[in-house]
Amino acid sequence: MVGAFAGLRLYSTPQPTGRSVTNLNFHPVKAAHRNGETAIRTSLSHLFAIFWRRLWLPVVVFAGFNVLCVLVYQHLEGLRWQDAFFWITHPHSLEYKQIHDSTKFFAVFVYFCVFAFQIWIAERVLVTIFRRQGMEAWKSMINDVGIEKVKDHFIVCGYGQVGRTVVDQLKRLEIPFVLIETNDGLYRELLKEGVLVIQGDAKRHDVLLTAGIQRARGICIVIDNDADNLYITVTARSMNANLKIITRAGQQRYAQAIRSSGADEVIIPEYEGGLMTGRMIERYYPSHSTLA
């Protein structure tokens, strides 16, 4: 049985010299750059939307307060609206010997109201930053900027049992990587851990472009679905002819197809596990060395 699987453990295939692109107007590098910029703009828009939902009320009330103060100052002192507005934020500019007492009392009232508004807005900002949605939006923006800057990295597709092990090894070796995962819960968890992660389907061109496939050294495809792994292998090879591709196969019939589609290495975790178990058993029989 071991001999039957020996040829499936590791496949090596020569790098293709290049592939034609059907759409002659498609520029992968420019498309990847646009995808990165779009992701950053999306994160910034999300962050702005969260802050606006928290700050719109104090901002609107403060704007109304300013209009009211301008009208009162104009009524009391006959000022232009520009001068009245300047007095709101610069109470020290009031000439106390030349203004009415009513204006002085109103200026004190305005001073304390402005101070109260500052506290209110600061409280909203701090609450927004440190609450869950604000933290996630901030980390998402940092994540997108990090992905845009990373290069010569590996792309890992899938965060299942095998994917977790791959990520742990890359962390240990300090090899830069970008993880692609579809599960929203895992995405949020990885975002909190500071892992460069993209939530999306690795079969999509735009997701691979956002992950930086044009500037990556390689891609590790370890999704628990042979058909998806085969499709991603073909797609990745067509997008970057120099990419190192390591693909997982769960069945023998897919291993050969994945190798033929352009994968540099094909692994079968079940076979690797059986081989390791066999080597462990071999230690108990020193006189036997038939296992590969």
pLDDT at 101: 85
Share of the chain above pLDDT 90, in %: 37
CB 137 within 8 A of CB 201: no
What number of residues does the chain have? 292
CB 141 within 8 A of CB 40: yes
Tens digit of each residue's pLDDT (9 = 90 or more) over 76-108: 888 888 888 888 877 777 777 778 888 888 888
Least confident of 66-70, 120-124, 153-157, 214-218: 120-124
- Please give the Cα distance from 213 to 196 (Å, whole number): 14
Distances from the Cα of 148 to the Cαs of 120, 200, 218, 257, 270, in angstroms?
Answer: 36, 16, 16, 33, 35
Collapsed DSSP state (helix, strand, coil) of residue 153: coil
Distances from the Cα of 34 to the Cαs of 39, 148, 156, 211, 217, in angstroms?
Answer: 9, 10, 21, 12, 20
pLDDT at 71: 92
pLDDT at 42: 59
Position 229 pLDDT exceeds 90 = yes
pLDDT at 18: 41
Higher pLDDT, 192 or 170: 170
What's the mean pLDDT when you consider all of the chain? 80
Once rounded to an integer, what is the mean pLDDT over residues 143-156? 90
| Residue 57, token pair as written in the block | 């009320």
Reported for 70-79, long-range contacts at CB under 8 A and 24+ positions apart, including other chains, are 72/106, 73/103, 73/106, 76/100, 76/102, 76/103, 76/106, 77/103
Higher pLDDT, 141 or 244: 244
| Residue 175, token pair as written in the block | 């090899």
Share of the chain above pLDDT 70, in %: 77
pLDDT category at 132 given cuts 50, 70, 90 is low
pLDDT at 182: 92
Tens digit of each residue's pLDDT (9 = 90 or more) over 19-47: 433 343 445 444 444 554 555 565 567 56
pLDDT at 123: 80
Least confident of 30-44, 62-76, 105-119, 276-290: 30-44
Give the rounded distance of the alpha carbon of 189 from its chain centre. 12
Describe the crossing of helices 28-77 and 101-130 by its angle, rounded to 10 degrees: 160
pLDDT at 289: 58
The single-letter DSSP state of residue 247 is: E
Q: For the CA atoms of 254, 158, 216, 263, what is the dihedral angle to 10 degrees?
A: -10
Q: For the CA atoms of 130, 134, 137, 140, what is the dihedral angle to 10 degrees?
A: 10
Q: How many CB atoms lie within 10 A of CB 286?
A: 7
**Alpha helices (H) along the chain:** 2-6, 28-77, 81-89, 101-130, 132-149, 161-173, 184-193, 205-210, 226-239, 252-260, 269-282
pLDDT at 128: 67
